[in-house]
Amino acid sequence: MIRSARQKRPGWTLVEILVVIAIITALAAMIMAVAPSILDKDRSVDAVTQLEGWLQNSRARALRDQLPRGVRLIVNDPSNPLCTEAQYIESPPIFVPNPDGPGQYPLFQGRVEFRYMEPPQVTGPLGSGIGRVCTIQNLTPEQALQVRIGSTLFLPTMGTYHGIIGIVGPFDQTQPLDPAKKSVRVNLDQYPDAQMGAGTTLTTYHFGLYGTPRPLLGEPPVQLPADTCVDLNAGVSLPFYPGTGDYDILFAPSGQTLRTIATGGAGHIFLWVRDPKKVPYMSPAQIGLPDVNNALYMNTLKAGGEQMLVVVKGKSGAVGAAPIFWPDSSSNDVYFFARKAVAGP
């Protein structure tokens, strides 16, 4: 009987083992170098996607329910407003002082009056509109108390919505108007310039007031992914955080944005999403620099890892995202890509 001898497999030489170890070590080092940046990018993209989804959901609810809906970015530390949590919000049902129009005695009926002065004589806080005066007239004392910062003025005949961002003051009526009634002069985030055309006065008896936003019933707070935030500091997000309260972004029943109730101001909304652990402070004032046109400031921003902007268009309320533009010889505007996004169709 012939037995076949097993063929022995040659072993690994020491050189071959060292080469394999060297290759594995090199690959591990490359992975360790690249993995953090990939994870940072993934977290930023996830945070931007979530924030876009919250805003788009709110806009869709406003269109569906025909009531103002939005998102409240919760601020825990007003001295450094880095938001990691949000809450869906709504405005209470409309309060209409005078749904039937002027009636037989228009001087005694509730109405909204716009007066554009020339030359400008009235100034106010951000977004008030130099030379523009808006007065809600002929309200009962109880009705006047419901006109607050954060309320929304609805003008159905013009199809426009206006966020109230300032109260100049309630005024008692003078004769021949009813002395028991009050007028409230308000500052708005935007004025009906297009509807007024070349006119300097406009009075409407058809108007409504939505109350200040409140948390949407049954909707728990929502969280951004770990190690991400929305930085609301001045010089980072726009319009910047005013220093008190939370940061509300509201959509009208038409779908258009009512801007941020806290800050007011015309224009678009840019929300800066970043990792707060990379760089604790990013506004020029916090870093101790005079302005953003500074190379040291730009380097500080870049050290913050992967960063993006969530953009809300001023008129349409459309929501999108854009990367940060790191300044070069062509421009020093970090919002360059975001501005191009909102300028498009």
Question: What are the counts of helices (DSSP H) followed by strands (DSSP E) for the chain?
Answer: 6, 18
Q: What is the mean pLDDT of residues 103-130?
A: 62
Which residues on adjacent β-strands are paired with residue 71? 88, 249
| pLDDT for residue 122 is more than 50 | no
Q: What is the mean pLDDT of the chain?
A: 80
| C-beta of residue 161 within 8 angstroms of C-beta of residue 256 | yes
The pLDDT-based confidence of 99 (bands split at 50, 70, 90) is low
Q: Tell me if the bond preceding 119 is cis, omega within 30° of 0.
A: yes
Q: How many CB atoms lie within 10 A of CB 284?
A: 19
Helix ranges (H only) for 177-310 are 193-196, 284-287, 295-302
Grade residue 130 by pLDDT with cuts at 50, 70 and 90: low
Query: Does residue 39 register a pLDDT over 60?
Result: no
**Token couple for 176:** 């021949």
Say how far apart CA 163 and CA 150 lie, in whole Å.
6
Q: Give the model's confidence band at 319: pLDDT under 50 very low, under 70 low, under 90 confident, else very high.
A: very high
Average pLDDT over residues 29-35: 60
* Over residues 89-118, mean pLDDT: 76
Enumerate residues 6+ apart whose C-beta is below 8 A from 15: none
Residue 12 has pLDDT above 50, yes or no: yes
- pLDDT by residue (tens digit) across 269-315? 999 999 888 887 777 676 666 665 566 777 777 777 789 999 999 87
What single DSSP character describes residue 95?
B
Residue of higher predicted confidence among 120 and 327:
327
The DSSP annotation for 277-322 comes to TT-S--SHHHHT-S-S--HHHHHHHHTT-S-EEEEE-TTT--EEEE
Average pLDDT over residues 248-252: 91
Residue 176 above 70 pLDDT?
A: no
Question: Is residue 10's pLDDT more than 70?
Answer: no
Rounded CA-CA distance 26/83 in Å is: 39
Q: Identify the pLDDT of residue 105.
A: 63
**Tens-place pLDDT, residues 217-239:** 888 999 999 889 999 988 788 88
Check residue 300 and give its pLDDT: 74
> What is the predicted pLDDT for the residue at 64?
94
Residue 199: alpha-carbon gap to chain centroid: 32
Per-residue model confidence (pLDDT) at position 53: 96
**Rounded-to-integer distance, Cα 43 and Cα 37, Å:** 10
